[in-house]
């Protein structure tokens, strides 16, 4: 691609950001669509965030993704925030229209698209979902799944107060959904309580029973914790208690297979990692910036990259 005076600039701001696969997949999409644009990684420390956002505006950077640790803290610096991103409390995509910066969050849409494409999941008013984790990615998942009108969302988190905070935040917004919070440690019977990421303790029998109950009827388990990011094992779920028809979605994509996908498939469950979600949230951002659909293109670019890396 020729870079000249008419080339538009897009990018991702984060810290760290050099590892990001977004430049790879976004540049593949701009090239495929013959759009004269380049997408780069901007390493922005928290202390420089306000200046970086002002810089997007003054330099006419047309759009940006936002990643860890700025997804929440970027919000006050924007001119407007889309209603779903507002509900999530985090922005992963900024659209710059003539100097007006509007924040969106495409993580939830990415999750829904990947659930459909990779696991053939259709959510409805009978769907019972378990979400592991209560961070930013969990909030995006909760909002997306609740907007689909699922019957229940049970949030399991190591720090139970964070799971409870999500239940308190969203039960009023989505009254048709039954929300529950459990300590991640709490539901795990001792016999299955293998340490994952070093954070799981024993807990009371009543909480074990509660989790067993939810596992027996759940249709979907979503991992939004960072367990597995560094290859740590994920041997904490009592698979024999899980509904045989449940499917497992792991937002982690650092390894093929991820520790959770490996454990789930060994136990006989249909499971996928977060590569499809990564591609789909990127495609949704691209659609916001350009109005053009690139269905499957970013996924193909990522898979090609993963294959090359695996062969090295
Ligand atoms: P946060 O830091 O906001 O949340 C991390 C979550 O993981 C918290 O619930 C935390 O629990 C839990 N956790 C971390 N370490 C452990 C551990 N050792 N044992 C138990 N629980 C643990 O991160 P995000 O929500 O932003 O992201 C979470 C993961 O999702 C990341 O790995 C990220 O890469 C991935 N992700 C993937 C996307 C994709 O497109 N595939 C999109 C967005 C995120 P606690 O509250 O107790 O600290």
Which position has the higher pLDDT, 13 or 213?
Answer: 13
Atom of ligand 1 minimally distant from the CA of 134:
9
Does ligand 1 come within 6 angstroms of the Cβ of 93? no
CA of 133 to the centre of ligand 1 (A): 6
User: Is residue 298 pLDDT above 70, yes or no?
Assistant: yes
User: Is residue 218 pLDDT above 60, yes or no?
Assistant: yes
159, 182 contact by CB (below 8 A): no
Q: What is the pLDDT of residue 233?
A: 82
CA of 161 to the centre of ligand 1 (A): 15
Of all protein residues, the one whose alpha carbon is nearest to atom 7 of ligand 1 is: 225
Residue with tokens 């760290």: 16
Q: What is the pLDDT of residue 36?
A: 97
Alpha helices in the chain (DSSP H): 22-32, 49-59, 83-88, 107-119, 136-147, 160-171, 205-217, 259-266, 275-290, 297-311
Q: What is the pLDDT of residue 185?
A: 67
Other beta carbons less than 10 A from residue 297's beta carbon? 19
CA 298 to CA 19: how far, in whole Å? 17
Does ligand 1 come within 6 angstroms of the Cβ of 108? no
User: Is residue 137 pLDDT above 80, yes or no?
Assistant: yes
Catalytic residue numbers?
71
Q: Which of 134, 224, 299 gets mutated to test ligand 1 (max ligand atoms within 8 A of its CB)? A: 224
Q: Which of 225, 273, 306 gets mutated to test ligand 1 (max ligand atoms within 8 A of its CB)? A: 225
User: Is residue 205 pLDDT above 70, yes or no?
Assistant: no
CA 120 to CA 172: how far, in whole Å? 30
Condensed to tens digits (0 to 9), the pLDDT of residues 3-62 reads 999 999 999 999 999 999 999 999 999 999 999 999 999 999 999 999 999 999 999 999
Q: What average pLDDT does the chain have?
A: 91
Q: For the chain, first and last CA: distance in Å? A: 27
Q: What is the pLDDT of residue 196?
A: 40
Does ligand 1 come within 6 angstroms of the Cβ of 258? no
CA of 36 to the centre of ligand 1 (A): 35
CA 184 to CA 262: how far, in whole Å? 20
CA of 277 to the centre of ligand 1 (A): 15
Q: What is the pLDDT of residue 201?
A: 41
The band of 301, judged by pLDDT with boundaries at 50, 70 and 90, is very high
Of all protein residues, the one whose alpha carbon is nearest to atom 14 of ligand 1 is: 226
Other beta carbons less than 10 A from residue 2's beta carbon? 6
DSSP β-bridge partners for residue 72:
none
Q: How confident is the model over 277-281, as a mean pLDDT?
A: 98
| Residue 190, burial from CB neighbour count under 10 angstroms (0-12, 13-18, 19+) | exposed
Atom of ligand 1 minimally distant from the CA of 277:
40
CA 208 to CA 185: how far, in whole Å? 9
Condensed to tens digits (0 to 9), the pLDDT of residues 170-204 reads 999 999 999 999 987 633 333 333 334 333 344 56
3-class SS of residue 219: coil
CA of 196 to the centre of ligand 1 (A): 13
């Amino acid at each position: 691609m020729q870079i000249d005076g008419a080339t538009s600039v897009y990018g991702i701001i984060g810290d760290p950001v050099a590892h990001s696969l977004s430049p790879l997949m976004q540049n593949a999409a701009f090239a495929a669509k013959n759009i004269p644009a380049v997408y780069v990684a901007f390493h922005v420390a928290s202390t420089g965030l306000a200046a970086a956002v002002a810089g997007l505006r003054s330099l006419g950077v047309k759009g940006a993704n936002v990643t860890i640790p700025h997804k929440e803290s970027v919000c006050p610096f924007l001119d407007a925030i889309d209603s779903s991103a507002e509900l999530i409390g985090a922005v992963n995509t900024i659209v710059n229209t003539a100097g007006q910066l509007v924040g969106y969050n495409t993580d939830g849409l990415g999750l829904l698209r990947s659930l459909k494409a990779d696991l053939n999941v259709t959510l409805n008013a009978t769907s019972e979902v378990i979400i592991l984790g209560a961070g930013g990615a969990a909030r995006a998942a909760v909002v997306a799944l609740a907007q689909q009108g699922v019957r229940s969302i049970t949030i399991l988190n190591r720090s139970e107060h964070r799971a409870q905070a999500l239940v308190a935040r969203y039960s009023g917004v989505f009254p048709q959904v039954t929300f529950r919070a459990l300590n991640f440690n709490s539901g795990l019977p001792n016999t299955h309580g293998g340490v994952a990421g070093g954070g799981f303790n024993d807990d009371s029998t009543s909480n074990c029973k509660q989790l067993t109950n939810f596992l027996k009827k759940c249709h979907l388990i979503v991992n939004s914790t960072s367990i597995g990011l560094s290859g740590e094992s994920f041997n904490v779920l009592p698979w024999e208690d899980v509904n045989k028809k449940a499917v497992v979605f792991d937002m982690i994509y650092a390894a093929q297979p991820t520790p959770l996908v490996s454990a789930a498939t060994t136990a006989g469950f249909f499971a996928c990692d977060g590569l499809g979600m990564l591609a789909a949230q990127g495609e949704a951002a691209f659609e916001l910036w350009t109005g053009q659909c690139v269905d499957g293109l970013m996924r193909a670019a990522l898979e090609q990259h993963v294959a090359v890396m695996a062969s090295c």
